[in-house]
Amino acid sequence: MRSEMEQHERELAHTKRQILGLVSHELRTPVTGVVGFSRTLSGRLEQLDRGTLRLFVDAIDEHANRLARLIDNVVVASRTPLVVVGRTCQLSQVLSQAVTRAGIGDDTSRLRVALRGALNARMDEEAAIRIVANLIDNAGKFGEPGGCIGVEGAERDGRVVLRVSNAGPAIPLGLRAALYEPFVQGDPTDTRSADGLGLGLHVCRQLVEAYGGSIDLIDDPQLIVFEVNLPAAYELQPDAAHGRVTGLRHRPDPVPDAPTVVPDRPPPTIRREQVG
């Protein structure tokens, strides 16, 4: 028994060192960028032309946003349980803020957006921004370089459905069950090209399920598609006396379901439709 406990403690210590090493490495990169560019800018401010100044300021902004995303994900991932705020938001309005926060820089030409309506969801706006930003950031990092990032949304059967897709290497079957676990990387090797702590999808699932929704990896022969289902904020108000719909009413706050385990098998094929 003592031997098993000692082995368990050694494994925990090893895991702790790995996590601390990963976090410190990922935080050091944007911090170094902010410090380096700001010091150079401060020391040579009078010598730089307007174009160079803009390049330096944009670089500082990019590194600062990356640092903010990393810290934000760590903070959200550490909260147990999450505090659910009974508010509503429009995903069509959230999208622009999420794109700004995501790590695709100014290359918004990569985005292909097709939303049907305002998409009023039963979710706090800040939580929605985090979810959409993480999914876009994830698609940008692990998709084909410079490839298209699709964002599609519609309301179906009282649910707001949002899909974020990208072309890229298929996710191995053995990794799908662990995708939403903290500190899991799509490429676990030291030579991976994408940065990050492996918290993006974990944070997405935490937030989505806290608000009574779900997130799934959708099987597609050509794309990697993550689909988010959220309770819609409004529902049709029927007029029983005249047999017609008279307007909209707020839906009650959702009751979150217990977190589900992602099966380690390909999800069922879902036909993609053109959203226009």
| Domains within the chain, CATH numbers bracketed | 2-78 (1.10.287.130), 89-250 (3.30.565.10)
Q: What's the average model confidence in pLDDT over 82-93?
A: 80
pLDDT at 117 over 70: yes
**Residue 68 C-alpha from the chain's centroid:** 14
User: In Å, what is the CA distance from 144 to each residue of 194, 197, 221, 224?
Assistant: 11, 20, 15, 11
Among 103-112, 171-180, 216-225, 249-258, name the most confident range.
216-225
- The backbone torsions φ and ψ at residue 149, rounded to the nearest 5 degrees and listed phi first, read -115, 115
pLDDT higher for 66 or 237? 66
Confidence band, pLDDT 50/70/90 cuts, at residue 263: very low
DSSP characters over 44-101: TTTT--HHHHHHHHHHHHHHHHHHHHHHHHHHHHH-SSPPPP---EEHHHHHHHHHHH
With beta carbons less than 8 A apart as the criterion, state whether 217 and 229 touch: no
Segment among 15-24, 159-168, 244-253 with least mean pLDDT: 244-253
pLDDT tens readout for residues 197-223? 578 888 899 899 989 999 999 888 889
CA–CA separation, 177 vs 266, rounded Å?
Answer: 10
* pLDDT of 4 over the 80 cut: no
Rounded Cα distance between 107 and 105, Å, is 6
pLDDT of residue 271: 34
User: Quick check: 228 and 209 in contact, CB under 8 A?
Assistant: no
Statement: residue 257 has pLDDT above 50: no
Residue from 174, 151, 126, 138 nearest 228 by CA? 151
Interval 99-123 mean pLDDT: 83
Question: What does DSSP say about strands 149-156 and 111-115: parallel, antiparallel, or unpaired?
Answer: parallel
Task: Name beta bridge partners: 114.
Answer: 152
Whole-number percent of the chain with pLDDT over 70: 69
Provide the pLDDT for residue 19.
Answer: 62
Please tell me the predicted confidence (pLDDT) of residue 225: 93
Give 11-60 pLDDT, tens digit per residue.
767 666 666 666 666 777 778 888 888 988 888 888 888 888 888 888 88
Give which of 263, 259, 221 is closest to 80, Cα–Cα: 259
Q: How far apart are CA 129 and CA 206, in angstroms?
A: 14
Predicted local confidence at residue 27, as pLDDT: 76
- Stronger pLDDT, 227 or 169, i.e. the higher one: 227
Neighbours of 230 (CB within 10 A): 28
* pTM across the whole model: 0.66
